[in-house]
C-alpha cells in the first residue's frame, strides 16, 4: 500500500512537472486563403496565395494548416514557445504566387477559454514585404494602433518592448494586417513576444 501511494505520488509529480515545463504557445498565421474580406470598412478581394515554409528560428514551430485539406498550403501557422520575458522570434515563408496575405497575430487555441493564454506582441519588422506601424506606436483617435485591424477586446498598453505601445492578444482576440507578397520573394517576419503570466 505504501509503495502504491508513493507510485501514485510520483506519477502525479511527473504530470505536474511536465505541465509546468511546457511553455504556452503564441501564434501567428499567414493566411493566403482569403476572398472578399472586409478590412476597416473596405472589401478586399484577394487572390489565393500558396506558400512554402521557409526557415524557422530556434524553437519556432511552422506548419501548413492541415484542416484546410487541399488548401493547406494557403495558410501557414507558426507557434512560439514563449516565456514571461520579452524575446525576439523570426520565421520565413515564400509565396508561390503574387497576392495578399493576412498576418494574424494571436495565441494558440485551447479547449477552455480560461486556458487561452494572452501574449504581448511588439516591434514587428518584415523583410520581403511591407508592414505598416509594426511597432504599434502610431495610434488613431480611439487610441488603437493605426494600420492594424484590432479586435475590441485586445489590450493596447504600455507594456512595450520598443517605444511605449504593445498589444496583448489571445486565440480569440487578434490583431491582423494585410500585406502584399510576390511569387518567389521570401518574406521574413521578426517580432518580440512574451506571455502574460504572473510569476
Q: Please give the grid coordinates belonging to residue 194.
A: 512574451
Residue at shortest CB range from Ca ion: 163
Q: Which of 102, 160, 175, 193 binds Ca ion (CB under 5 A)?
A: 160
Contact 178, 39 (CB under 8 A): yes
Smallest gap, in angstroms, from Cβ of residue 158 to Ca ion?
A: 9
Contact 14, 87 (CB under 8 A): no
Of the pair 93, 148, the CB lying nearest Ca ion is at: 148
Beta-carbon contacts of residue 129 (< 8 Å; ≥ 6 apart)? 179, 180, 181, 185, 187
In whole angstroms, give the CA distance from residue 148 to residue 155.
Answer: 13
Beta-carbon contacts of residue 35 (< 8 Å; ≥ 6 apart)? 45, 46, 48
Contacts with Ca ion, 100-139, as mask; x by CB under 5 A? ----------------------x------------xx---
Which part of the chain contacts Ca ion (CB under 5 A), choosing from 23-31, 79-87, 160-168, 189-197? 160-168
Contact 135, 145 (CB under 8 A): no
Smallest gap, in angstroms, from Cβ of residue 125 to Ca ion?
A: 12
The footprint of Ca ion on this chain (CB under 5 A) covers a number of residues equal to 7
Of the pair 62, 134, the CB lying nearest Ca ion is at: 134
Smallest gap, in angstroms, from Cβ of residue 156 to Ca ion?
A: 10
Residue ranges binding Ca ion (CB under 5 A): 122, 135-136, 160, 162-163, 165
Amino acid at each position: 500500500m505504501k509503495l502504491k501511494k508513493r507510485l501514485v505520488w510520483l506519477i502525479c509529480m511527473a504530470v505536474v512537472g511536465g505541465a509546468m515545463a511546457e511553455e504556452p504557445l503564441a501564434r501567428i498565421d499567414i493566411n493566403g486563403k482569403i476572398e472578399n474580406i472586409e478590412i476597416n470598412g473596405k472589401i478586399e478581394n484577394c487572390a489565393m496565395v500558396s506558400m512554402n515554409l521557409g526557415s524557422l528560428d530556434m524553437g519556432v514551430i511552422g506548419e501548413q494548416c492541415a484542416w484546410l485539406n487541399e488548401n493547406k498550403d494557403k495558410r501557414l501557422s507558426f507557434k512560439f514557445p514563449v516565456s514571461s520575458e520579452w524575446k525576439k522570434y523570426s520565421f520565413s515563408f515564400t509565396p508561390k504566387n503574387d497576392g495578399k496575405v493576412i498576418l494574424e497575430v494571436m495565441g494558440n487555441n485551447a479547449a477552455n477559454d480560461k486556458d487561452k493564454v494572452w501574449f504581448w506582441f511588439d516591434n514587428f519588422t518584415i523583410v520581403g514585404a511591407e508592414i505598416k506601424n509594426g511597432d504599434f506606436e502610431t495610434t488613431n483617435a480611439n487610441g488603437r494602433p493605426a494600420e492594424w485591424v484590432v479586435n475590441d477586446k485586445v489590450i493596447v498598453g504600455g507594456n512595450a518592448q520598443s517605444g511605449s505601445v504593445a498589444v496583448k492578444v489571445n486565440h480569440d482576440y487578434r490583431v491582423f494586417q494585410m500585406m502584399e507578397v510576390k511569387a518567389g520573394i521570401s518574406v521574413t517576419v521578426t517580432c518580440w513576444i512574451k506571455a502574460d503570466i504572473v510569476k
